[in-house]
Amino acid sequence: MNLRRKLLAASFVLAALPAVGQTQRMSLDPANIDTSMQPCDDFFAYSTGGWMKANPIPASEPRWGNFNKLADDNLATMRGILEKLAAGNGVNGDADFQKIGAYFKSCMDEAAVEAAGLKPIEADWKRIASLKDRKAIIGEIANLHAIGVPVFFGFGQEPDPKDSKRTIAQIRQAGLSLPNRDYYFKDDAKSKSLRDAFRAHVVAMSKLAGQSPADAAKTADAVMRIETELAKGSKTPVELRDPESNYHLVKQADLKAYAPSVDWGGYYKQASVAAGELDLSQPDFLKAVERVVTRSATGDLKAYLGWHVLRSHANALPNAFVDEAFAFRKQLTGAKELQPRWKRCVNATTGAMPDAVGKAFVAKAVDPDTKARALKMVQNLRATLAEDIKGLDWMGDATKSQAQVKLDKMAEQIVNPNVWIDYSALQPNEPFYASNLRTVRAWTVKHELEKIGKPTSKDEWQMSPMITNAYYEPLLNIIVFPAGIIMPPFFDAKADDAVNYGGIGAVIGHEMTHGFDDQGRQYDAQGLLKDWWTADDAKRFNAKAQCIVDQFSGYTVVDDVKENGKLVQGESVADLGGLAVAYRAFRKTEQAQKGEKIDGLSPDQRFFLSYGQIWAENARPEFARLQALTDPHPAAKFRVNGTVSNLSEFAKTFQCQPGAAMVRANACKIW
């Protein structure tokens, strides 16, 4: 899979026409404002308090905000489309539509899933059980990788960071069940309790799969031992943010020096990948894999492999497995109920064939003029950022010149990809959902690995056009805005410029300035991992970024958990830059120049309120903890308050006085 790009690509969130039977939401609703609060004291509470009171978190969700509501509307729209396709209606000769209809139908056929039981994965278990020695066990890694089961390490493809026109193989850390390596070592009571809950979860799942209580306990102990050892060799989320230290170009023959027990020639042959240079992203992790596979008991290794087969298919198995998987997941997220099956199946179908779903969604739900209108905003934001670069007092002329070249070459794709993925070789026609899942995963692995050794393409997206999100890809120097986000409340053709610039304008500015955040700035205009800054300019930028790190490190998320300023600095730098650039672009509009009020609000007030309201969100404490420990995006409250409190334009708009909570004495300023 496209592993490095999934690690590095900076998205806006971790999330047209309304769905039939649903009401069109206003892009800026005064009822969302909590007038009992003061904008200079807590702008998040002021701008979103009314919304938060009116929108409690649904039992099936860990958090609920405007991103989630729009994503939910898009799911409902796609449900209607998929139900028709599953019934054989609306295919209109499009083979992709037939395939997503069939896949969705197999997922929704609960009776067939129950009847299938564990049949779809029995062959894997029997094969693992029959393995006679350590060599055979290690050889099984390739079999499981081929069907998308990520044991021990990840193997995929990426544009070469030092030569991004070519696509190379990549090996990176993987193989853990818990969110990241820190979950295996943090010694606070909550973390210890969660590890105990995970062990109990492995026992429960193994018993459902037919193991005796004693054998299930042994499986759980083996999984914990092996994954803890793998975690010891893994990098932290913050360490993974450094592109240079996570790039090591080696030859296939060099892999023997790190993991001599793996038959790399045989692995490459089974993956149908030619020998060549690859990025061994975390060399020390591969050494940890070698220690695990050579020092662990063979029974433990087989238990680990069998567990990951079960874990990776659990949500496609009978309800008892789905329920147990959710029982553990809700301890991580706080969600109270399992999502209805139709939502899980729409999401599963989207994950299986993202472009086929996106093509159907765009045809049904997107105004044909949306792309042109959104592109015009991109052009306006680009021109404003170019002006900002010229006027920066902390960046020298040489770096400014290269920054301008990078901005000029930054490509954009809006609504849908220029070229859709070709699914002609994919035939998900198995009788059981879990079997179709395996078919799709095997096709996807093959599709990704076939890119190795070929020129890099900018056409394939990392998410479906249906998704409510956006991203910047530094290796390709491209910004992407799917159809699923170019809708109210982010973008509305009927809304005034203030609302659109405070909404989708801030999203566009966010993605553009990702090209110059702590990670993105390390890549040049061609997407090469290359130092193009002067030493003095880099030093000044790092000092400004440290201001953001220090600011966000002071925010308490929940209980004793604070934001990790180093982890969230990239997103927070992009939030600040994006909103600042969007505001200056908005100030060029006729509405801003006239200054006429709407609903008693000035254009500038509407701009900032629009930004605040796109982040309206209620979150469960369990999810807030999970986000703070794993996600490079800070909590919604701090994305709003932390950003506007650095802008003098915000203070002027709401007449905030020095000393107010939303006026930082030592404001962070980059763009």
- Across the chain, how many H-helices and E-strands are there? 27, 12
The confidence score (pLDDT) of residue 431 equals 83
By the 8 A CB rule, do 43 and 659 touch? no
Average pLDDT, integer, range 480-501: 94
pLDDT at 7 over 80: no
CA dist 292 and 306 (Å) reads: 16
DSSP H/E element including 659: none
pLDDT in tens, 420-468: 999 999 999 888 999 999 999 999 999 999 999 999 999 999 999 999 9
Residue (of 447, 443, 449, 510) closest to 481 by Cα position:
510
The domains of the chain are located at: 32-71+367-419+460-653, 139-316
Q: Which CATH superfamily is domain 139-316 in?
A: Neutral endopeptidase , domain2 (1.10.1380.10)
Instruction: Give, as one character, the DSSP assignment of residue 296.
Output: S
Share of the chain above pLDDT 70, in %: 96
Whether domain 32-71+367-419+460-653 has CATH 3.40.390.10: yes
pLDDT at 25 over 50: no
Please indicate whether the domains covering 32-71+367-419+460-653 and 139-316 agree at the CATH topology level: no
**HEC secondary structure over 479-546:** EEEEHHHCCCCCCCCCCCHHHHHHHHHHHHHHHHHHCCCCCHHHECCCCCECCCCCHHHHHHHHHHHH
Sign for the pseudo-dihedral over CA of 600, 604, 607, 612: negative
CA dist 246 and 32 (Å) reads: 44
CA angle 294, 297, 298 (to 5 degrees): 90
Residue 320: half-sphere exposure toward Cβ, Cα within 13 Å: 13
Burial of 234 per CB tally in 10 Å (0-12, 13-18, 19+): buried
Instruction: Give the phi and the psi of residue 583 in degrees, each rounded to 5.
Output: -65, -45
pLDDT at 10 over 80: no
pLDDT in tens, 80-123: 999 999 999 988 889 999 999 999 999 999 999 999 999 999 99
Average pLDDT, integer, range 563-575: 97
CA dist 535 and 101 (Å) reads: 55
**HEC secondary structure over 547-572:** HHHHHHHCCEEECCEECCHHHHHHHH
Q: Model-level pTM? A: 0.94
Task: Give the SS3 label for residue 617.
Answer: strand
